[in-house]
Structure 1
């Protein structure tokens, strides 16, 4: 074990709160393993140790990230998300294979999925938009977290008006997915897309609302004016 990993785990264990560990499980349907601490505390620890590792070669930092992931602890996955995002200025095309493997192998809950994909994958796709077709392939994965990742990787760019066409295409591919975590993921993507493209998302929802799961639909229209929400939610489906 790299000494920095040992120090991180020692600090996580020292600062763990049994009460937070007990209450954290209620936010997840699947069982999670966690130390028990507030996210802000974990991010502070991530930043503290980032100062120690940021000068290392990127491949070495990725190995540290993988070692953190392998523990299965929620908080260690958050540290990976923070470190991977801090490397955004150093991404290369080949890094996509690393990120794909991490999502497929180590991500087992919505918090780890969103924490990694919103920022690291979002930045990667903005830097290398020619790889967005990769996300479309993920929509067909047997792994629910890969399918959710296909949508939530575009959350931040979509919030700023980017990738409208691609976001709608990903929603199309996930439209009738029967997994609620996936439905919430692409519904969230549509919601963020609607910030800058309300008319386009409303038209999409109206076209597909008869087959779109209600969970996804509610997420998609959350930011829309009341009259559009009412129209979208009508029962003539």
Structure 2
């Protein structure tokens, strides 16, 4: 089944898209995705392959997750998410453990963002949140991003305390990919409870990295955004995954 999945994925590959993706995901020397390799498969096609191989054995999914090919790792994560959602309690625990044992392969922001809430967040919903603190304090950028993105699961259930706690741990983080993730989650809180977001911002906006603040207040009225930005610091921007094109 493993080879069949790899072959199916390559059936959607595009050399032109691979060149674009390798540039977009910063795979050059010294960049955060240094050395990563792409087939040039768009996300909708990868999801289609994941549905085709939804019953893939976990050993095969783990083999994909350790691949040097980015889309194979994404495929593995999509399969693991489906297996987790359909699994028994023991199976879910096994997938959660597999995920945390392989974070070194969940090593770009798209891989984290597609999976963390559905495996880590979902698993810890009714359990100790201690693993999130460990991840947030990690020296590895992707583990820190997993920590905050996992809390999206809690936000969608209108539980914000864990996100705010992790956000405080990451306020002094030096990487803009963490600034963007924290700001995004603060914005998601604001969509559901503006008072909760603004209480956090009143206490921390003067010390937040500019990118984090910009993401957090993106949907605020212009005059309110200006007031926050005048007291903030730093700078930043955003990007959109070109593979999302249908």
Q: Scaled by the length of structure 2, what TM-score is found?
A: 0.83
Give the Cα–Cα distance (whole angstroms) in 1 for the partners of residues 161 and 152 of structure 2.
Answer: 13
Moved over 6 A (4+): none
Residues 45-86 of structure 1 show CA distances to partners (whole Å, capped at 9, x for unaligned) of 110111x53xxxxxxx33222100121212112212211111
Q: Which has more helix, going by share of residues?
A: 1
Q: Provide the residue aligned with 1:64 in structure 2.
A: 60
The 1:179–1:63 alpha-carbon spacing in structure 2 relative to 1, beyond 3 Å, is same
**How many residues in Structure 1 have an aligned counterpart in Structure 2?**
222
- CA separation of 1:74 and 1:141: change in aligned 2, threshold 3 A: same
Q: Distance in 1 between matches of 2:53 and 2:214?
A: 40
Q: Alpha-carbon deviation of 1:236?
A: 6.8
Q: C-alpha distance in 2, partners of 1:112/1:236?
A: 30
Shift of 1:160: 4.2
Q: CA deviation at 1:194?
A: 1.3
Matched with 1:57 is none
Quote the offset at 1:110 in angstroms. Answer: 0.7
Counterpart of 1:82 (choices 78, 83, 99) is: 78
Could you say which structure has the greater relative contact order, defined with CA pairs below 8 angstroms and 6 or more residues apart? 2
Aligned to 1:27: 24
Q: How does 1:56-135 map to 2 (within 5 A)?
A: 61-87=57-83, 88-90=85-87, 91-92=89-90, 94-95=93-94, 96-103=96-103, 105-126=104-125, 129-135=126-132
Cα contact 2:18–2:38 (8 A) shared by 1: yes
User: For residue 8 of structure 1, what is the aligned residue in structure 2?
Assistant: 5
Question: 1:198, 1:224 within 8 Å by CA — same for their partners in 2?
Answer: no
CA gap of 1:45–1:94, structure 2 versus 1, over 3 A, is: closer
Instruction: Please list the CA deviations of residues 137-171 of structure 1 after superposition, one character each: whole Å capped at 9, or x if unmatched.
Output: 21111111000110001124314422x11111000
Q: TM-score scaled by structure 1?
A: 0.86
In the alignment, the residues of structure 2 paired with residue 40 and residue 194 of structure 1 have an alpha-carbon distance, to the nearest angstrom, of 29
- 1:207 alignment partner in structure 2: 203
Pick from 32, 42, 46 the counterpart of residue 42 of structure 1.
Answer: 46
- Give the gaps of 5 or more residues in structure 2: 27-32, 234-246
Segments of 5+ residues of structure 1 without an aligned counterpart are: 54-60
Whole-Å Cα distance in 1 between the matches of residues 75 and 15 of structure 2?
20
What are the within-5 Å matches in structure 2 for residues 211-230 of structure 1?
211-230=207-226
Match of 1:141 in 2: 138
| CA RMSD after TM alignment | 1.9
